[in-house]
Amino acid sequence: MLKLIAALALALSSLAAIAQQPIPIKVVIVATFEPGEDTGDTPGEFQYWVEREHLTGKLPFPGGTRPLRINAAHDVLGIVTGMTLANAGPSIMALGLDPRFDLTHAYWLVDGIAGVDPADGTIGTAAWASYIVNDVNRQLDASEKPVAWPYGLFIIGAKAPNVMPAQPMTNNTYALNPTLANWAFNLTKDLTLPDNPAMAADRQRWTAYPNAAHPPTVIRGDSYASDSYWHGQVLTQFANDWVALWTNGKGNFAMANMEDAAIAEALQRLTRMHRADYQRLLVLRVASNYTMQAPGQSAIDSVNSPYIDSTAYDSAWLTGSTVLHALTRNWPTYRLHIPTVNEPAQHLR
């Protein structure tokens, strides 16, 4: 009897130890907002992921803005960070430090909507980023700036716009793994993204912008993250100049959002803590609106107009899930080996 009791105690202790082992996650899906419930109502960035990827498990997450979601295999995890830099960074840090999960080999797929520069794309366009650029800057109101300045925003430590000081006070640039970004783009560049009549009609306004006048595609384009919901032709030019300045001319502003820089910063810190791998970060943004007014429209009318009925959420899931499926279906390879553009074509779906 004593031997049986001892055996049972050992078995129970072993089960307890197993239960306490962190769950090894393959891919973290990062959405930034969901207006209602995760399923069954008007979708935001997260709902199609929950429904179509069967993220049926709901886990409490007091360090975030709403519960986490996980699939039945416990290898794909979903998080809604909350909007703005102030929410996104803490949410990712809280997840990275959560003892329930082993995220050391996880790929992080940021998949959200954004404002697109019409020079680069149209509503529904999906862009894989090579760079994320933050918005920390000095500002003068437009009514008080020198007349010759194009706008009143410039780098802290500089004395005018479009000047990089010898020692900038902040680091506003986050370079993403080019090998991984190239692989994701090549995997998805030939996808036919969904379209609809409202989007087609809207494109007629943008004949002076060829990339805004044709149906949506998958492109390469960089992310400018700001806590300000800015809009207009002048500030779109600023975003282009700002991204080019901070990336030494290598980056091209395409998508405006309010979270990406904070997510990248959190993952860099978690990498230094051996809790995550920044080199496995992918950023996909899909256009739901433009960053500026259409020809013949005022900036104030444009920013106050409701978004058109678009396929942005569908495009975000379609493009992102293509990458998700390739990673999970080939996990024995991709657990230790970050994919390259030379990966076999059969990895697509």
pLDDT, tens only, 96-127: 999 999 999 999 999 999 999 999 999 999 99
What was the pLDDT predicted at 241? 98
> What's the whole-number mean pLDDT along residues 323-340?
97
DSSP-based three-state secondary structure for 70: strand
**Model pLDDT for residues 303-318, shown as the tens digit of each residue:** 999 999 999 999 999 9
Is 173 part of a structural domain of the chain?
no
pTM (two decimals): 0.92
Is 93 part of a structural domain of the chain?
yes
In the structure, what pLDDT confidence band is assigned to residue 40 with cuts at 50, 70 and 90?
confident
Distance (Å, whole) CA 106 – CA 50:
18
Dihedral sign for Cα atoms in the order 88, 90, 93, 97 = negative
Does residue 258 register a pLDDT over 90?
yes
Number of domains in the chain: 1
Nearest CA-CA partner of 311 in 186, 183, 200? 200
Dihedral sign for Cα atoms in the order 290, 292, 297, 298 = positive
Is 153 part of a structural domain of the chain?
no
* C-beta of residue 28 within 8 angstroms of C-beta of residue 79: yes
What was the pLDDT predicted at 342? 74
Residue 105 is part of a domain; what is its CATH number? 3.40.50
What was the pLDDT predicted at 5? 53
Does residue 10 register a pLDDT over 70?
no
Query: Virtual CA dihedral for 8, 10, 16, 19, nearest 10 degrees?
Result: -100
**Model pLDDT for residues 184-226, shown as the tens digit of each residue:** 999 999 999 999 999 999 999 999 999 999 999 999 999 999 9
Is 48 part of a structural domain of the chain?
yes
Is 140 part of a structural domain of the chain?
no
Does residue 233 register a pLDDT over 60?
yes
Distance (Å, whole) CA 139 – CA 147:
15
Nearest CA-CA partner of 220 in 282, 290, 294? 282
Among 2-11, 129-138, 273-282, the least confident range: 2-11
Nearest CA-CA partner of 39 in 25, 61, 54? 54
**Vertex 175, ends 239 and 247: CA angle to 5°?**
45
In the structure, what pLDDT confidence band is assigned to residue 347 with cuts at 50, 70 and 90?
very low
- Residue 199, domain extent: 23-130+180-229+249-347
What was the pLDDT predicted at 341? 79
Is 293 part of a structural domain of the chain?
yes
Is 244 part of a structural domain of the chain?
no
